[in-house]
Structures are given as C-alpha cells and as structure tokens.
Structure 1
Amino acid sequence: MAKGKVRRRARKILGEEPVALVWCEIHKPIPAPPKDVHRAAGKGRLTSRQHWLVYAGAVVFFFVVVPVIVIGSLGRKDTPRAGRGRSRERDRGQNPVDGVFDGDWNLTAGQLLLRWYGHSPSPKRLVMLTRDRICVAASPRRRLSPTKADDFRTVTEFTLDEARIEAAAGQPRGYATFRLAFADGSWLEMGRLGEPEDADHFLRTVSG
C-alpha cells in the first residue's frame, strides 16, 4: 500500500482524499508517430532515459556476446522461409500500434503519448481518482519507489465528462491493465500496476 507521505502528497495535490490511486506505466513501447506529427508536437523523446548501467551492458553485449554468436553461426546456412517477412509485415499492418492506443495521433490519447516523456524521464505515472476527476501525475526523477515517491506533480487531469477508466474485474495480478478512454473516442492502455493493494483497490473501484 502507498506509504503515508505518498497519500499526503496526493491529498495536497488533489485538495481531497483520492478515491483510488495506482502507479502504472505504458506497458509496451510507444510506436513511432509520423514524422510531421512528432515534429509538430515538439519532437519530444518517446523512450525513457535509461540508467548508465543499461548502456554499459549494451556495450558489453555488442562487443563480447555478438561476436561469439556470429562466430558460432559461421558455416551454418539458414534458408529464409517463404512468406515469413510478408507475414510479419501483414501482422504489423493489422495491429500497427500493438494495443498501446487507438492509433490516431491527433486525438487526446495520441497527443498525451507524444508528450509522455516530456513530463518525466520515468515511464511511471500515478493515476489518481476523485469523485469527479482523473488526475495523472509524474515524478521528475528517472527512478523512483512507488511506495515512497513524494515529489510527483500533476501533469494532466480530466473531468469525468472528458475521460473515464475502463477495466475488467478479476484480472490476474501482475498482468492487469486498464484503459484511459476519452470523450473523443481515443484510448490509452496502461499496465505494470504498482503495489498490489493499490492495484486491487483501483481495479475494484473502476470496474465495480
């Protein structure tokens, strides 16, 4: 469960006790938007800033692991299966945004995605519900603890006429997702819900 200082910060931001709150993420990579759309939105970054150890690991992988794999594969011939590439292209064409959002970059969900990492280098967002609002908050830090973070601030909020939460009841813990659905028909799917008690209470609240 969120620690006292997290809830105190939430109360201070909202001006009231939240009905439910949960840390969550966009649980799949943000798809690449059209270049003109990305440029019009300020060309903000679409990925999180990784810790330096991640980059160090990538260097080790590239200069140590990859050569070993290449050497081990010398002499083996892999005949490409006919139609494999076309099949993958066809799958991508059928589902170009992979369930992240509705696909229209000009609507509310798409515009929110374009500015996702402009608010914080961390992928985590705190979704807070009140009786008449849905508030999305972020911490300025790249890495944070969902139970202890108390420096988050609201990055956007919606009235219940502008947005709603859609979620199925009884989802398995660890795989649960919900959708932030907007009045213009767009939607954004969230997952990787933090803190089991917060997640369970949040899903019960929005699916009840």
Structure 2
Amino acid sequence: MAKRQVRRRARKILGEDPVALVWCEIHRPIPVPPKDVHRAAGKGRLKSRHHWLVYVGAVVFCFVVVPVILIDLLGRKLDQLLSPGRRSRAQRTAPSPTAPDAQGSGRGRAPEGERGQDPANGVFDGDWNLTAGQLLLRWYGHSPSPKRLVMLTRDRICVAASPRRRLSPTKADDFRAVTEFALDQARIEGEAGQPRGYATFRLCFADGSWLEMGRLGEPEDADHFLRTVSG
C-alpha cells in the first residue's frame, strides 16, 4: 500500500483525498513516430535514461568481454589451419547437402514475429496527432523515469511524475502533476481480478485515442484501482 507520505503528497496536489491511485508504466517500448511529428513535438526522448551502471557495464563489455571472445575465435581458427589432416577427415564425413526442394520450402514465408505486427506495438491507438499520441511524445519530457502515478478523484484523472530517474513507488513524495483531465475528457477502462504482474488498463480520451498502461505498482493499490474503474 502507498505509504503515508505518498498519500499526503497526492492530497496536496489534488486538494482532496484520491479515490484511487496506482504507480504504472508504459509496459512496452514507445513506437518510433514519423520524423515530422517528432520534430513538431520538440524531438523529446522516447526512452528512459539508464542508470550510470548500465553505461559502465557496456564499456566493460566492449573493452574486456569482446576482446576475449575475439581472441578465443582467433585461437580456434589457428588451430584449424594447423591441423589439415583433421580438417580433411571432417570434410569426408560431412553430410551431403540438403535437397533443393527442402532448402527452398521455407522461402517466401514471413518470420512468425513479423506476421500481423502492430506498428503501434499495442501501446496506443496509433494516431500521433490525437491526445494519446501527443502525451506519448512528451512522456519522458516530464520525467526520465517511466513510472507515472495515476490518481482518480470524483471528477478528474490526474497523472503525476517524479523528477528522479529512480524512485520507490511506496516512498516517493516529490512527484508533481504533469497533466489532468476532467471525466468528460478522459476515462479509464480496466478489469478487476487480472493476474498480478500482467494487469493493464487503458486511459481513453474523448477524441477516440487511448493509451495502455501496465506494470502496476503495489498490489493493494493496483487491486483497489482496478476495482474502482471496473465498478
């Protein structure tokens, strides 16, 4: 359950106690928008900023792990060149080539992952010019963290974010409102009883656009939130 400081901060932002609240994220990568649309929105970030340890790990991989792999491959290659007898025996026992019909039978088939691929990645409705698309374009402009706190009152929906990259959803108390919608502008669609860890909900707007959220934080908050919006 969200700690007292989170609820105190939410009350201060809203001017009243929230009916329900939950920390959540866009649970899939944001699709790449058209260049002109991205430019018109200020060319904001479409990915969260990684912790500095991620960059340290990448440097270590490039300058330590990759050279070790290359040296190992080079050693194997030299071993093969210095052992012609062993290579010739391997060639004699090698299996015969596959028949042309068998080789060509899979040609022209699209990879399984490419069939019916959704260009919007299931994140939103796909129209960058509508409310959901515009909100996505500015998502990381409000905070480098992917986490957002969605708060419900009797007559509005408020989305808040913390300026920090890393935060604890139970203790964060520095979040601020980044956008707010009256109930005639937006509504939330979700089902109660979804499996924990896989639960999602949609923020739907009056212009027909929608944005799907997942990775709901704090099971008690998530369960109460979904029961509230599905009632």
Same fold (TM over 0.5): yes
State the distance in 1 between where 2:27 and 2:113 align. 21
Q: Which residue of 2 aligns with 1:91?
A: 116
Measured against aligned partners, the alpha-carbon deviations of 1:166-200 in whole angstroms (never above 9, x if no partner) come to 01221001110000000100000000000111111
1:131 correspondence with 2:154: yes
Structure 1 or 2, whichever has the larger Rg, is 2
Amino acid at match of 1:191: G
Give unpaired runs (5+ residues) of structure 2. 81-102
Spell out the pairing of 1:29-178 with structure 2 (5 A cutoff): 29-65=29-65, 68=69, 71=73, 82-83=107-108, 88-92=113-117, 95-178=118-201
Q: What displacement does 1:97 show?
A: 1.1
Q: Which residue of 1 aligns with 2:84?
A: none
Give unpaired runs (5+ residues) of structure 1. none
Q: Secondary structure at the match of 1:49?
A: coil
Cα RMSD of the aligned pairs, angstroms, is 2.4
Measured against aligned partners, the alpha-carbon deviations of 1:66-91 in whole angstroms (never above 9, x if no partner) come to 5639949989xxx9953455665443
TM-score, normalised by the number of residues in structure 2: 0.81
- Choose the corresponding residue for 1:189, options 199, 206, 212: 212
Amino acid at match of 2:27: H
Spell out the pairing of 1:3-14 with structure 2 (5 A cutoff): 3-14=3-14
Amino acid at match of 1:21: L
State the distance in 1 between where 2:73 and 2:156 align. 58
Q: Percent identity?
A: 82
